[in-house]
Structure 1
């Protein structure tokens, strides 16, 4: 047995009894959903709700069973996130950085043990995200720096859109080493004076994801928590997209639920309608039925794409580089295909559902528009117009898709 093989888990996180797993969390999802409308109206961050999930072990569902996790597959994780998103679509996105870091540590276990991180996840530790820089930073540049101070290391820089970090114990920071210019991931502990978190996200949707600014001023990071970015799991961009697809599918499910409840309760009818009650109006039934089908198709598509990512994860342990490369390409392409289709399905459904009700449905008290706003916001990440081009380039020319997306200042045109 080689040293590398000794580090492999006895079993991979390839799946468990989904219904038994989901039943652990469904009572929590119900409690989360009960306060979702109020949190939306008051823009209250779900600190308590995140704590419920932490205590229930939600952040460890992908950790292998022998380390205390649930051993869930990626399709099962995605299905759970869809159910959670139906309760409150902000929460899966707030946990997006955490599950990405978990996925990275799962893949890293093929090369060296990750027992310490697995233990942290099982104990409830959550990981936030701090990758994006704005302003004058050019594409490919990283302003945030990791530098040595004696026998320790410090992180200095400012990150934006730090989704979920305000709820986290650690932050997954994309930075550059001062000494050799290497791009790295620094796993920085949140609870220290050098980390300052703000809830200043001003988007019209997904307003309680905790997606604000994080400032690192001489924030300490241990040497063993500085990870070469080149070792990052290869299907990461596909994974990040999958979580956003779960957010959209869950928002669609929530919209169908809320509009259906409003149709059942509605007593006023239109003279141009088809029945003495709205619930018996065949055209209203058609609106609800079509939206239900659109959401079903979106969810099924997301789970299909998650299966491709699961194959990429399992191929990491196959010791077959060609098979792993092929699986990573498939994961990226399928997540892009799903993104294009799901955005269209959910945005149409969450808009067209208003045809089932009158103008009273636009009441800010009901906040039924939040489902479209949340889906629109999630669908705006990683512009799908470029994904459509990437897919077309693959189909026509066999051009391999990019695995790292960046944003930054472009060169000025003369």
Structure 2
């Protein structure tokens, strides 16, 4: 994990402390005003800008394009630390990091070079795949070819991060209802991004509506292939796990601080102060232990994703290996465990502090609200069944949406 001096474990590589050292001062600044942002619902434009300027959006980008070229376990260790400061911001960068994986797994051509360079220079991408109508992966949004370009029409919801970004990574259908994907400039005429996400958690993640009214797109904006990288489902789920692990870490840290400062005692207490009461200290341990376990699971699953990535970019035919499906399975068998660990930890912490813990000034409720919202994004009720089917019969997880796998050796285009 990270922060061995605080009992969170060693980082995922020998160089991790050096990598994390660049960002920890920023994470600290972000965390200092997290309660204020939550209570005022202030969108963290400034904090996102700090991270962009520090190269946070180029973490996985190859050094030749201006990036840090870190591994997936190193990335997820950083996401845990960022989430301890503010999980909203982790979610803001979720689609950006996913598009980065698209590029890293794509054929080495001019289009890939162009976009790796843009991300290496600090440009940012938000999400534009989900719609409120139809099933997950179904699109009413259209991108139709015109004489000298393309025309985009439609609407998206859960457009996380797009209000902060330069581009929206968007899925749609073309004139023949075939899948098509594009990078849409957020500043283009006809693009409207609304801050209308009204969830009780992750309130500043910018996960609301985006509308597209006759938006003109250039050929450069169209992705050569609408397929995605082989560990797509696992990757996006694991970002949520990293957020949960960070939430647990922040809850444990804040709880310990409040217990240490608490002067009031209960008549049935077992010490001269809360910090000396063994039953209160037990509650603190029941929060920190799950946070530690969640982080350890995240980094273990990140190793499975790294194996999937390395297998894909080495040219192994996806139909000739189970490594990508194993990444999905390792992710699915972690969903319920991490969800239960952090939801319980962010609930039981109140038992150590009494009614004063419910005061708005402490904002301890934000940890449960954020965790509850994140665990609702991809319903965990289905993941245990998927794991059971695999364990009993070896059945592979069913694909979600357009799951054709892109490899670095693909040729041609799915663009109409």
Query: Which TM-score applies when normalising by structure 2?
Result: 0.90
Deviation string, structure 1 residues 43-101 (Cα, Å, up to 9, x no partner): 01000000000000000010122322111111110010110000001001111000000
Deviation string, structure 1 residues 211-254 (Cα, Å, up to 9, x no partner): 11000111122223322655311110100001000110000011
**Paired residue secondary structure (2:22):** helix
- Quote the residue 2:157 is aligned against: 160
Deviation string, structure 1 residues 376-407 (Cα, Å, up to 9, x no partner): 1111111111111111111112111123259x
- Please say if residues 181 and 226 of structure 2, whose CA atoms lie closer than 8 Å, have aligned partners that are also in contact: no
- Quote the residue 1:206 is aligned against: 202
1:35 equivalent to 2:33? Answer yes
**Paired residue secondary structure (1:267):** coil
1:285 equivalent to 2:270? Answer no
Deviation for aligned residue 1:373? 0.8
Within a 5 Å distance, the mapping from 1:15-414 to structure 2 comes to 17-109=15-107, 114-135=112-133, 137-138=134-135, 141-178=138-175, 180-227=176-223, 230-321=226-317, 325-404=321-400
**Paired residue secondary structure (1:259):** helix
Task: Give the aligned length.
Answer: 391
Change (3 A) 1:228 1:118: closer
- Please say if residues 91 and 161 of structure 2, whose CA atoms lie closer than 8 Å, have aligned partners that are also in contact: yes
Query: Which TM-score applies when normalising by structure 1?
Result: 0.91
- Quote the residue 2:3 is aligned against: none
- Counterparts of 2:181 and 2:13, CA distance in 1: 28
Deviation for aligned residue 1:290? 2.1
Structure 2 unaligned segments of length 5 or more: list them: 1-11, 403-416
Change (3 A) 1:133 1:288: same
**Paired residue secondary structure (1:301):** helix
**Paired residue secondary structure (2:363):** coil
Structure 1 unaligned segments of length 5 or more: list them: 1-13, 407-414
Name the stretch that deviates more: 218-227 or 374-383: 218-227
- Counterparts of 1:297 and 1:139, CA distance in 2: 31
- Counterparts of 2:318 and 2:120, CA distance in 1: 33
Change (3 A) 1:101 1:140: closer
Deviation for aligned residue 1:265? 1.1
Change (3 A) 1:261 1:237: same
Deviation string, structure 1 residues 7-59 (Cα, Å, up to 9, x no partner): xxxxxxx9782111111111110110111100000001000000000000000
Change (3 A) 1:140 1:207: closer
- Quote the residue 1:409 is aligned against: none
- Please say if residues 15 and 71 of structure 1, whose CA atoms lie closer than 8 Å, have aligned partners that are also in contact: no
Deviation for aligned residue 1:111? 6.9
Deviation for aligned residue 1:372? 0.8
- Please say if residues 156 and 210 of structure 2, whose CA atoms lie closer than 8 Å, have aligned partners that are also in contact: yes
- Counterparts of 2:231 and 2:181, CA distance in 1: 16
Q: Cα RMSD over matched residues?
A: 1.8
